Amino acid sequence: MDIREYFSAWRRHWVTIVLCTVLAVGAAGAVSALSQPTYVATARLFISTTGGGSISDAYQGSLFSTGRVSSYAGLAVGKQVAERAIDELGLNVPPESVMSRVTAAAVTGSVLLDVTVSDTDAAAARDLANAVASQTSQLVQELETAQAGQLPAATATVADFADLPVAPSTPRWGRNLVFGLFGGMILGLATAVGRSALDSTVRTDDDIAAGAAGPVLGVVPRQKTPSADVLLLGSSFPTAEEAFREIRTAILALGAGTPPRTIVVAAPAVGTGSTTVAAGLAAALADTGRSVALIDADFRGGRLPTLFGIGGVPGLSELLRGKVTLDDAVVPTDRDNLSIIGTGVATESSSALFGRVTMNEMVKQLHEYFEFVIIDAPPVLCSADAAVLAGVADGVLLVALLGSTTSADLTHAVGKLRLSGASVLGCVATSHRRRR
């Protein structure tokens, strides 16, 4: 993926990014709220040597004290100091409990030793830090005194007693929320890229061309109105009308000046917009003065009569059964040069009529009066009707819905049509968001 594809994935899945960020910040806030506050108190010891009044003695003593600091740090966190601190404070806890809360570290480049205690109670942390510091000082004096009555070689004096902590050291709300914010954003961005990589829906003209292994003859842009039906009957949607004119031009240019006269318009699945494309193409061809017959062959979900405000008349089902003639089934529309044949009263067995010779004969009869016959077929992958209808047509115009139709569905639909001997003229993309 190049940088443009990354930005495209992030823009497409911005809801995922926002959701991950909100959830991460919420989780950080929940963890902070549920965490028990911890208070930290620190007492400081000063390590010094006794004796020696000269500068040389003082320097040697400083080196001696510096070397002793790390050893005294080990004493401060040891069991003996813990037991003494427990006795001093009158606590009823095991030494290990105290040792787990105490840390000691030398201040780099100095003879200072910090004793730090963490506790869920501020006063307990302060008292224990002072007790550990005092007991460490006493233990150092005992260990550094060689004989009774002599001065110790080194002392650990409590230089700063611990103060009462005014605020807990954890949880750190600001840090946790910032980490949650950036962590959630990173997770969201990565999830968006992952979803985009696994998403096989077609989103560009190139995706459709690759999935169908054929050209894209036009793109019908998305309109502000929620119903695409209105744009077929008026001139309030110039962008859509221009799209249908482009498709018409591409169709007329096929066949080296001998364009296909019988065209099946179909889609891989339901809700792709094939009816809109069929009606729009028929209207665009009629605008050039060519006579067009538009047939609704979708017995399960046909809506062309409703689209053009025609109802209650016999249609394709009755025509194929021989109950009516072409004159009874063909209904002129308000648009010049455009007539339609609805589905009529369809039954479960109506689809079987497509396989009869009657369908092919009907198309031949229509061409005696109409230059073009456009057939709105049911979805290719939902039934075999589209493939059967394609057998009486000069070619199939396949419709794909950007952001919904998958490359696999397109490939499967094309394979199914070609297996029946049909010629796929090209594809039309619907619901295309116009670029600014």
Torsion of Cα atoms, 400 then 401 then 405 then 411, to 10°: 10
pTM score of the predicted model: 0.62
103-124: b (≥16 Cβ within 10 Å) or e: bbbbeeeebbbbbbbbbeebeb
- 294 phi and psi angles, rounded to 5 deg: -110, 120
Q: Is the preceding peptide bond at 260 cis, omega within 30 degrees of 0?
A: no
Structure tokens at 340: 């339609």
Residues of the chain with confidence (pLDDT) below 70: 1, 50-67, 146-150, 222-238, 256, 347-351, 355-357, 432-436
Please state, in angstroms and rounded to a whole number, the distance separating the CA atoms of residues 89 and 114. 20
What is the rounded CA–CA span in Å between residue 33 and residue 16? Answer: 25
Burial of 433 by CB count in 10 Å (0-12 exposed, 13-18 middle, 19+ buried)?
A: exposed
Tokens 């019908």 appear where? 220
Cα dihedral: 122, 124, 129, 135 (round 10)? 170
| Pair 219, 250: CB distance under 8 Å | no
Q: What's 64-126 look like in SS3?
A: HHHHHHHHHHHHHCCHHHHHHHHHHHCCCCCHHHHHCCEEEEECCCCCEEEEEEEECCHHHHH
Helices and strands: H and E segment counts in the chain:
16, 12
Q: What does 393-431 look like in DSSP terms, one character per residue?
A: SSEEEEEEETTTSBHHHHHHHHHHHHHTT--EEEEEEEE
* Closest to 101 in 3D by CA, of 111, 93, 110: 93
Rounded to 5, what percent of the chain is helix, strand, coil?
45, 20, 35
| Whole-number pLDDT of residue 187 | 93
- The CA–CA distances, whole Å, from 324 to 236, 320, 332 equal 37, 8, 16
pLDDT of residue 160: 93
User: What pLDDT does residue 271 have?
Assistant: 85
Task: Give which of 245, 263, 243 is closest to 426, Cα–Cα.
Answer: 263
Check the CA dihedral 172-178-184-186 and report its sign.
negative
pLDDT at 58: 46
Q: Residue 295 has what pLDDT?
A: 93
Q: What is the pLDDT of residue 12?
A: 80
Q: Map residue 378 onto helix, strand or coil.
A: coil
Task: Give the number of other CB atoms < 10 A from CB of residue 373.
Answer: 26
Tell me what pLDDT residue 300 has: 81
Q: Which two tokens stand for residue 196?
A: 């985009």
Angle (CA) 93-94-97 rounded to 5° is: 85
Q: In the sheet that 154-160 helps form, which strands lie side by side, from edge to edge?
A: 102-106, 112-119, 39-49, 154-160
Q: Give residue 263's pLDDT.
A: 95
pLDDT reported for residue 226:
40
269: left (phi over 0), alpha (psi -120 to 50) or beta: beta
Nearest-angstrom CA–CA distance, 85 and 334: 100
Return d(Cα 310, Cα 307) in angstroms, integer: 8
CB atoms under 10 Å from CB of 139, counted, come to 18
User: Cα separations (Å) of 412 from 226, 331, 394?
Assistant: 30, 35, 20
Q: What span, in angstroms and rounded, lies between the C-alpha atoms of 369 and 269? A: 32
pLDDT of residue 436: 38
Residue 204 carries which side chain, given as an amino acid letter?
T
Q: Tell me the Ramachandran region of residue 271: left when phi exceeds 0, alpha when psi lies from -120 to 50, beta otherwise.
A: left
